[in-house]
Structure 1
Amino acid sequence: MIYKNNAFRLSAFVFTMAVAFACFKKSSAPSISELDYAKFPLANLSEYGIYDGEMSQLVPTKDLLAYAPAMPLFTDYAFKKRFVYIPADSAASFDLNKPDAAFVFPEHSILVKNFYYPADFNKPDAEKQIIETRLLVKKGGKWEAYPYVWNKEQTEAVYKSIGGKVPVTFKNEAGESHSIDYTMPNKNQCKSCHNQGDTFSPIGLKVKQLNNDYAYAEGSENQLAHWMKLGKLKGEGDLTLVKNMVYMTDTKASLSDKARSYLDSNCGHCHNPNGPAGSSGLRLTVEENDPFHWGVYKSPVAAGMGAGNLKYDIFPGKGKESIITYRMNSTHPGVMMPEIGRVSIHKEGVALLTAWIDELEPKK
Structure 2
Amino acid sequence: MIKKITFLILICFVVFSCKKDDDTVDACLEITNVIATNITTSIATINWTDPNGSDSYIVEYGESGFVLGSGTMVVETMTSTTLSNLNPETTYDVYVQAVCSTNNSSLFSDVLSFTTETLPVVPEFRPNLSELNLFSGNLGDLNISSRAFKYELNTQLFTDYAHKQRLVALPENTTMQYDGDGLPIFPDNTVIAKTFYYNIDERDLSLGRIIVETRVLIKINGAWETGDYKWNAEQTEATLDLNGSIVPVTWIDVNGETNSVDYEIPTNTDCFTCHHTYEDITPIGPKLRNMNFNVDGVNQLDEFINRQRLTGVSSSTEVSSIVNWQDTSESLEDRARSYFDINCAHCHIEGGTCEVQSTLRLAFETSLEDSNIVERKSSISLRISEYSQDFSMPFIGTTIIHAEGVELLRAYLQTL
Interval containing the TM-score (normalised by the shorter chain): 0.7 to 0.9
Change (3 A) 1:231 1:333: same
Tell me which amino acid in the other structure corresponds to 2:415: E
Larger-gyration structure (1/2):
2
Q: CA deviation at 1:251?
A: 2.7
Partner of 2:16: none
Partner of 2:210: 129
User: Which segment drifts farther, 230-239 or 342-351?
Assistant: 230-239
Out of 261, 269, 284, the residue aligned to residue 203 of structure 1 is 284
Task: Find out whether 1:283 has 2:361 as its counterpart.
Answer: yes
Change (3 A) 1:265 1:205: same
Q: Distance in 2 between matches of 1:105 and 1:56?
A: 27
User: Which segment drifts farther, 52-61 or 160-169?
Assistant: 52-61
Partner of 2:255: 174
Change (3 A) 1:113 1:32: farther
Q: CA deviation at 1:123?
A: 3.6
Q: CA deviation at 1:95?
A: 2.0
State the percentage of identical aligned residues: 35
Structure 1 segment 182-193 matched on structure 2, within 5 A = 182-193=263-274
Structure 1 segment 260-275 matched on structure 2, within 5 A = 260-275=337-352
**8 Å contact kept, 1:110–1:138:** yes
Change (3 A) 1:125 1:276: farther
Change (3 A) 1:243 1:291: farther
Question: For structure 2, which runs of at least 5 residues remain unmatched after alignment?
Answer: 1-65, 73-84, 91-115
User: Which segment drifts farther, 251-260 or 111-120?
Assistant: 251-260
Q: Distance in 2 between matches of 1:32 and 1:200?
A: 28
Greater share of strand: 2
Partner of 1:226: 303
Partner of 1:52: 136
**8 Å contact kept, 2:149–2:167:** yes
SS at match of 2:410: helix
CA distances 1:222-249 after superposition (whole Å, capped 9, x unpaired): 1111111111112359854654212221
Partner of 2:328: 251
Aligned residues: 314
Q: Distance in 1 between matches of 2:318 and 2:333?
A: 18
Question: For structure 1, which runs of at least 5 residues remain unmatched after alignment?
Answer: 1-10, 18-22, 299-312, 315-321
Q: CA deviation at 1:290?
A: 3.2
SS at match of 2:226: strand
Q: CA deviation at 1:135?
A: 0.9
Q: Distance in 1 between matches of 2:188 and 2:141?
A: 28
RCO comparison, higher one (Cα < 8 Å, 6+): 1
Partner of 1:307: none
Q: Distance in 2 between matches of 1:77 and 1:277?
A: 24
Partner of 2:40: none
Q: Which runs of 4+ in 1 moved over 6 A?
A: 11-14, 27-30
Change (3 A) 1:346 1:174: same
SS at match of 2:298: strand
CA distances 1:184-223 after superposition (whole Å, capped 9, x unpaired): 11012101011012111111111110011122xxxx3111
Change (3 A) 1:114 1:30: farther
Per the normalisation by structure 2, the TM-score is: 0.70
Per the normalisation by structure 1, the TM-score is: 0.80
Q: Distance in 1 between matches of 2:69 and 2:224?
A: 48
Out of 218, 221, 227, the residue aligned to residue 140 of structure 1 is 221
Q: CA deviation at 1:85?
A: 0.4
